[in-house]
């Protein structure tokens, strides 16, 4: 099929839930993607914070091949070794005692809401189920996760949303204190709001939420689906805040692009979840968990995480230099390799022109674009991206 035929057929047969640029991705290598016409793109999206090791990663391919020759799927009716080994790695490297596997970030949020409410029905009484989340947050597209998402534009014409969510202001502890009541059983928060515009939680804010949860017998649930697992320069983002959550949702980079999500939780919550109360056909299958183990054991290495921090510092410094040099940038936000750049010009135009110039970046909330390069990006790639970004800004 020719490029134009693929695009024309897509418009006929695929539900139009995405606005896609007019090229077709064919393959990838390292931090580069290539389209069907042979054009090369430096990828600063990495599958929306998924492809930490970029494309065509030999070690990931070897893991995939090895497990594919052994077992892909046999359902959660049976024990499998890769699932257990991945859970062990997660428990060893985080606050968690137990892990529940599912297929996506949204599913992890759905499960976390259920687990919080199940815990609350025993610990706090069935009539208490309110969860505080935040304006500008994003937690997913199914009804529970969507109802928890503090962006009304995503609810429009899909109502009614699920009851039981109250929305406070991000980084405003007083707004949380005003909302917290005897009915509140949990606070759900992204340490770095990704889709909402790349806003980083202040340390005092997350520490304050931890304290409020302790004082009110509530659970602190962190959504690290986008900011977790190396993206901010530590294995989990919460490590930079001196706090521990009670529960945490993860997904995106966990299995290098294969669908896998997880809820990490403490034993006091896990104790209330009994066989048959939650489940999934595919979640945590042997193929994805085997690959995820290979990915995560590399991400959690100190030297790897230090390299993310170093490249982050370099990228942020260079972006500030660019801001001083060219018009068009209002502010630079974010942590690690999760950077939001608030623009004075139309972000859609910037994204389009960058792609024409061979650089992929993506939109986030506000008037901002987002840089989410693969975690293996090198300083040379950052320089290359910034030359392209600068050229685009200079044309607007
Ligand atoms: N939570 C956060 C913080 C996210 O960034 C996303 C996706 O962007 C989700 C939840 C939903 O994850 P998924 O798209 O894997 O369902």
Q: Hey, where are the domains in the chain?
A: 3-57+304-394, 71-299
Dihedral sign for Cα 168, 193, 106, 273, please: negative
Q: Which of 177, 211, 221, 198 is nearest to 363 (CA)?
A: 198
Instruction: Supply the CATH classification number for the domain 3-57+304-394.
Output: 3.90.1150.10
279: Cβ contacts below 8 Å, ≥ 6 apart = 76
Q: Are 257 and 47 in contact (CB under 8 A)?
A: yes
Structure tokens at 185: 């059983």
- Residue 238 CA to residue 209 CA, distance in Å, equals 12
Side-chain half-sphere CA neighbours of 109 within 13 A? 27
For 46, other C-beta atoms within 10 Å of its C-beta total 29
User: In which residue ranges of the chain is pLDDT below 50?
Assistant: none
In this predicted model, what pLDDT tens digit does every residue of 247-261 receive, in sequence order? 999 999 999 999 999
What was the pLDDT predicted at 251? 98
- pTM given for the model: 0.98
User: Ligand 1 mean position to 186 CA, how many Å?
Assistant: 19
Q: Which of 224, 292, 280 is nearest to 254 (CA)?
A: 292
In this predicted model, what pLDDT tens digit does every residue of 65-84 receive, in sequence order? 999 999 999 999 999 999 99
What was the pLDDT predicted at 157? 97
353: Cβ contacts below 8 Å, ≥ 6 apart = 392, 395, 396
Burial (CB count <10 Å: 0-12, 13-18, 19+), residue 285:
buried
Helix residue ranges per DSSP H, 233-369 = 267-270, 286-299, 302-325, 347-356
Q: Which strand (E) or helix (H) includes residue 188?
A: strand 184-189
Give the residue, out of 49, 143, 252, 256, with the most ligand 1 atoms within 8 A of its beta carbon, to mutate for a pocket test. 252
What was the pLDDT predicted at 336? 98
Helix axes 302-325, 379-395, angle to 10 degrees: 20
What was the pLDDT predicted at 366? 93
Give the residue, out of 221, 225, 236, with the most ligand 1 atoms within 8 A of its beta carbon, to mutate for a pocket test. 225
CB-ligand 1 contact for 104 (6 Å cutoff) = yes
What was the pLDDT predicted at 59? 98
- Residue 354 CA to residue 363 CA, distance in Å, equals 12
For 68, other C-beta atoms within 10 Å of its C-beta total 13
What was the pLDDT predicted at 368? 98
| DSSP β-ladder status, 165-168 and 338-343 | unpaired
| DSSP β-ladder status, 219-223 and 184-189 | parallel
Do 71-299 and 3-57+304-394 fall under one CATH topology?
A: no
Overall CATH class of domain 71-299: alpha beta
- Ligand 1, atom 1: closest residue by C-alpha: 139
- Residue 102 CA to residue 82 CA, distance in Å, equals 14
Nearest atom (ligand 1) to Cα of 107: 16
What was the pLDDT predicted at 171? 98
């Amino acid at each position: 099929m020719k490029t134009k035929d693929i695009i024309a057929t897509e418009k006929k047969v695929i539900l139009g839930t995405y606005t896609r640029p007019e090229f077709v991705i064919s393959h990838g290598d390292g931090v580069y993607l290539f389209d069907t016409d042979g054009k090369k793109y430096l990828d600063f999206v990495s599958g929306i914070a998924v492809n930490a090791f970029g494309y065509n990663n030999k070690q990931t391919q070897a893991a995939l091949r090895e497990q594919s020759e052994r077992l892909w799927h046999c359902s959660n009716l049976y024990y499998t070794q890769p699932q257990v080994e991945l859970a062990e790695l997660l428990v060893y490297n985080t606050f968690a005692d137990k892990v529940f596997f599912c297929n996506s970030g949204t599913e992890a949020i759905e499960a976390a809401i259920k687990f919080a409410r199940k815990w609350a029905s025993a610990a706090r009484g069935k009539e208490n189920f309110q969860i505080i989340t935040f304006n500008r947050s994003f937690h997913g597209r199914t009804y529970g996760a969507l109802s928890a998402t503090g962006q009304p534009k995503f609810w429009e014409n899909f109502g009614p949303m699920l009851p039981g969510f109250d929305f406070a202001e991000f980084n405003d502890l007083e707004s949380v204190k005003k909302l917290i009541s005897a009915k509140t059983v949990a606070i759900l928060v992204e340490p770095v709001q990704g889709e909402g515009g790349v806003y980083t939680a202040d340390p005092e804010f997350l520490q304050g939420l931890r304290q409020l949860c302790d004082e009110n017998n509530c659970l602190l649930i962190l959504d690290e689906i986008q900011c977790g697992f190396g993206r901010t320069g530590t294995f989990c983002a919460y490590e930079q805040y001196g706090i521990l959550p009670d529960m945490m949702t993860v997904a995106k980079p966990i299995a290098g692009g294969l669908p896998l999500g997880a809820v990490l939780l403490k034993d006091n919550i896990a104790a209330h979840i009994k066989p048959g109360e939650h489940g999934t056909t595919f979640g945590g299958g042997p193929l994805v968990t085997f690959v995820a183990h290979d990915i995560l054991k590399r991400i959690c290495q100190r030297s790897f995480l230090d390299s993310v921090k170093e490249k982050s510092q370099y990228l942020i410094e260079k972006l500030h230099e660019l801001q001083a040099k060219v018009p068009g940038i209002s502010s630079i936000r974010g942590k690690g390799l999760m950077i939001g750049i608030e623009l004075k010009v139309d972000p859609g135009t910037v994204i389009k022109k960058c792609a024409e110039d061979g650089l992929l970046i993506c939109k986030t909330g506000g008037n901002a674009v987002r840089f989410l390069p693969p975690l293996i990006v090198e300083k040379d790639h950052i320089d290359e991206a910034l030359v392209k970004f600068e050229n685009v800004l200079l044309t607007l």
